[in-house]
Every structure is written in structure tokens, then in C-alpha cells.
Amino acid sequence: MRSTSQITALVYDNGLFCSLAERLTREYDRVLYFSPWERGFSTVNEACIGDGIPGVERVADIWSVKDQVDLWIFPDIQHSGLQLELESQGLAVWGARAGDELELNRELFLRTIESAGLDLPTFEVVRGITALKNHLREAEDKYVKISRYRGSLETFHWRSWKLDENFLDLLAVRFGAVRELVKFLVFDSIDTPIELGGDTYGIDGRWPGLMLHGIEAKDKAYLGAVTDTEKMPDQIKAVMDAFKPVLAKYRYRNFWSMEVRVLDDKAYFIDPTCRMGLPSSSSQMELWDNLGEIIWHGANGELVEPKPAAMFSAEVLLKIKADKGGNWRKCEIPSELRQWLKFSGHCEVDGLAWFAPDDDNDGACGWLVAIGDSPKDALERIKGYIERLPDGLTADPAPLADVISAIDEGESEGIGFAKEPLPAPGTVLEST
């Protein structure tokens, strides 16, 4: 098998993982980047994502470069048909293949964990907005989800009819003609502060010997520890053991993340991430020194162990200030921070990162990551990076205090995180 330094790779993305393409320029000869942009009336906004990133070549048509590509990388879900077609032609493909159905099809996922003997959360399937209203009228503290179309509805926390009735009216308008056809999954709340996370990659049902034990504050912050897979919490190992044959069946060769909520003697695997996780992907990009080798060999069916550059990571959400009038957002990219800024959906022009207007986005534009040889080291580094962010770019370290508190709660229940001591939660708010 050829050396990674001889490889031409194409990252086929949906716009979230431009930073992966940039990271792989450290190891591959050429890195091409593509995200879908064509429609009846195409726009510049989609067509320029990934353009201008140093070392990365944005391509408008994958078929025009197909014969130049040694390695096809699909860091996100969907496009399974294309992955399988490329694989059928003997090409090296890193991706979930049809295994992404585990994330896209919630009912399939629930049937899978039930057949694997894992704890099944309490839920009901309700078809149509009228039935959903009737179901929720007297209900409190539920979680509402749908399959596949996460852009139409992300997980929604239903508090009560008094507080959230109007949201159901909004859904009726949003789904319009198909409002009585949509299937909603309504889950009981799992009342526990303990949520375990595991972030790794799998090759045909096989796992590496090292992975990340990661704890997050939902969509805000993350702390990860490089951990022997065999020393992960039992609840995480049970999920990984149960899914070995499932992922082998799909020829799954991709990143993989798990969220497991622990309540008394039950462990509920609530969501599979059949792609690069957000957060956690930024950590793996910087912690795994041989990431390009992992992906190249993994796409060819060979499991390569990660070589850690450090033992801990910290991530916080990046936000960019919005210009008035729906203009493009932009910021400078300080050279000393470039490696640690993991932007999504951007292009670069004249040394600036540019983000197209997006009415549905509150300014989130990526993740800031730091690595270190202790939790304190990683946390001190990320605070230092935050203080050096350019004008218009912000990151809040406060959710890291919540992460530390969650880890402390888990350790009080006998679920360890790392041998190295964690600083007190309040220290993440102190200036460096």
C-alpha cells in the first residue's frame, strides 16, 4: 500500500468538515474538497464552501477528477449510494456506507439496540401533527424527534402544553401538506446528570485500542481523555460490543460516537453518531497524529492504531458576530491560532474566513480546540486561545465548568474519567 504522502484524497462533505480537508494536507500529497452546490438556481453561497483554504483544492464536479483520486472520504452521513458505487469499482472509501441509516432512521436504531439486548428507552411513535397534539396535551417533560429530516426538526424538549403549545402550531406550518404524514417519536425524559460519551472510529466492526472518553455540554463544550478502549466505562463497552456485528455487516469504516445516559442500573444508548462528531471531531483531528494513515488504511479495510499527540483535549463552540442587513460574516485568521480554529461552511479570501448569510444560524461557525498532557494543561491552553481570538470571533469557556461538574458527578457514582485530577469547575472562568 502506498505511503500517505503519495495519496490524492477527495473529501466529500455537506459543508461541516472543511477543517478535515485542511488537516489532511499535513499528510497527503493532494487534498480535494467537494460539497453539493447544484440546484435549479444555484448560488455562490454553496459553491464557494471550502474555497481558498491553503493546500485544499475546491472542485465543482467530482467526475472531472475521479480518475485522479486514490481515496474518497465521507466524514458526514448520507451519500451512501455513491459510496457503495465507488466501492464496487474497487476504490478506497472511508465512510459509513449504508450504516448511516442507524443515525437517520430512529426506528431502525431502536429496533437494533433492542435486538442487541441493550436497554431500550421508553417512547411512542405518533403519526401526524393532530395526533401529536393529542398525545402531548396532558404530557410534560418529553423529547420529540423525527427521523432523517433533522433540518426540519432537531430534538425538541417538550415542557408542557402551557409553555410549548405554540411550537406545535409552528410545526403544522413548517410541515404544511405533509403535517399529518410525519412520524414523530416521543421519548420519556431520562432524569439523570450522568451522560457518558465515547468517540472513536471503526473498521468493519473492529475498534482501535485507544479512543476518546469524551464528555460534552450539549453543542457548547467538550473535554476528552485518550483512554484504553478496554478501560472505558462498562456502559460504553457494552454498546461497542453489541454493535460490532452490526457495523461489520455494513462494512462501516468511519468515525463513530456514542451518547449513553446512565440511570441507576440502566444505560440508555440515546443517539449514534455515524460520522465525525460535533464536538469531538476537532479533538480527533489534533490528538491523532497519524489521522491520514488511519483513514487511508481504514478505507482499505485495515485497522491502524492512533498515535496520540497528547492525552487530553478541550473544545468550545465558536461564534462570529453578525453584520447588519444579512451580510457575509468575516474574521481574520491569526497564524498562531489557525491549527486550533476548526471552521465549518466557510471560504477564505485575502486571509479572511468568510461565512455566507444564514438566517437559521445564530452565529455558530465552528469549534476551538486545544490539546495537552493533562486536563489542566488543555484547559489553560484553550483559555489562552480564547483571549487571542480576533475581533468578531468569540468562544465561551463557561460550559467547560458544566462538563467538569458532570465528570465529578459520574466519578461519585463510580464512573471514572482519567487518573489525572481535574481542576475545580470555577477555574475555567479565571483568566490565564
pLDDT of residue 230: 96
Determine how β-strand 312-320 pairs with β-strand 221-228: antiparallel
> Looking at residues 222-250, what average pLDDT do you find?
96
Position 412 scores a pLDDT of: 81
Model confidence band, residue 411 (pLDDT cutoffs 50, 70, 90)? confident
Q: What pLDDT score was predicted for residue 394?
A: 96
Angle among Cα 278, 169, 164 to the nearest 5 degrees reads: 65
Residue length of the chain: 432
Q: Once rounded to an integer, what is the mean pLDDT over residues 326-337?
A: 92
Q: What are phi and psi of 370, to 5 degrees?
A: -140, 150
What local confidence, expressed as pLDDT, does residue 275 receive?
96
Statement to judge: residues 62 and 169 lie in one domain: no
pLDDT of residue 325: 67
**pLDDT of 119-147, one tens digit each?**
999 999 999 999 999 999 999 999 999 99
pLDDT digit string (tens) for 153-202? 888 999 999 999 999 999 999 999 999 999 999 999 998 888 899 999 99
Q: Does a structural domain hold residue 258?
A: yes
pLDDT of residue 134: 95
Number of domains in the chain: 3
Residue 104 lies in a domain: no
Clarify whether residues 304 and 420 are in a common domain: yes
Which CA distances in Å does 109 have to 243, 259, 269, 272, 352? 11, 13, 10, 8, 41
Q: What pLDDT, on a 0 to 100 scale, did the predictor assign at position 321?
A: 87
Which residue did the predictor score with more confidence, 57 or 263?
A: 57
Mean pLDDT of the chain: 94
Check whether residue 182 and residue 297 sit in a common domain: no
Whether 324 has a pLDDT exceeding 70, the answer reads no
How big is the chain by its Cα radius of gyration, in Å? 21
pLDDT class for 306, splitting at 50, 70, 90?
very high
Peptide bond into 425 cis (omega under 30): no
Strand-pair partners of 126:
184
Q: Are 420 and 374 in contact (CB under 8 A)?
A: yes
Of residues 133 and 409, more confidence is placed in 133
Per-residue model confidence as pLDDT tens digits over 236-247? 999 999 999 999
Collapsing DSSP to helix, strand or coil, 362 comes out as coil
The answer to the question of residue 106 being in a domain is no
Instruction: Give percent of the chain with pLDDT exceeding 90.
Output: 84
What value does the mean pLDDT take over residues 393-404? 94
Among candidate residues 134, 169, 188, the one where a domain is terminated: 188
In a domain, 379, yes or no: yes
Question: What b/e sequence results for 272-289 when a residue is b if at least 16 CB atoms lie within 10 Å of its CB, and e otherwise?
Answer: bbbbbbbbbbbbbbbbbe
Q: What is the pLDDT of residue 151?
A: 84
Residue partners of 105: CB distance under 8 A and separation at least 6: 147, 148
My answer on whether 247 and 376 are in the same domain is yes
For residue 322, is pLDDT > 80?
no
pLDDT at 359 over 90: no
Q: Is the pLDDT of residue 375 over 70?
A: yes
Task: Tell me what pLDDT residue 273 has.
Answer: 94
Return the CATH number at 83.
Answer: 3.40.50.720
The percent of residues above 70 in pLDDT, for the chain, comes to 98
Domain that residue 30 falls in: 4-99
* Residue at 274 is within a domain: yes
pLDDT of residue 432: 63
Q: How far apart are CA 319 and CA 393, in angstroms?
A: 6
Is the domain of 160 the same as that of 199? no
Mean pLDDT of 403-424: 86
Mean pLDDT across the stretch 277-289?
A: 97
* CA dihedral over 154, 159, 161, 164, signed as positive or negative: negative
Separation of alpha carbons 6 and 248, rounded Å: 29
Which helix (H) or strand (E) element contains residue 249? Answer: helix 234-250
Residues 415, 288 within the same domain:
yes
Residue 345 belongs to a domain with what CATH number? Answer: 3.30.470.20
Does one domain contain both 184 and 252? no
Same structural domain for residues 66 and 172?
Answer: no
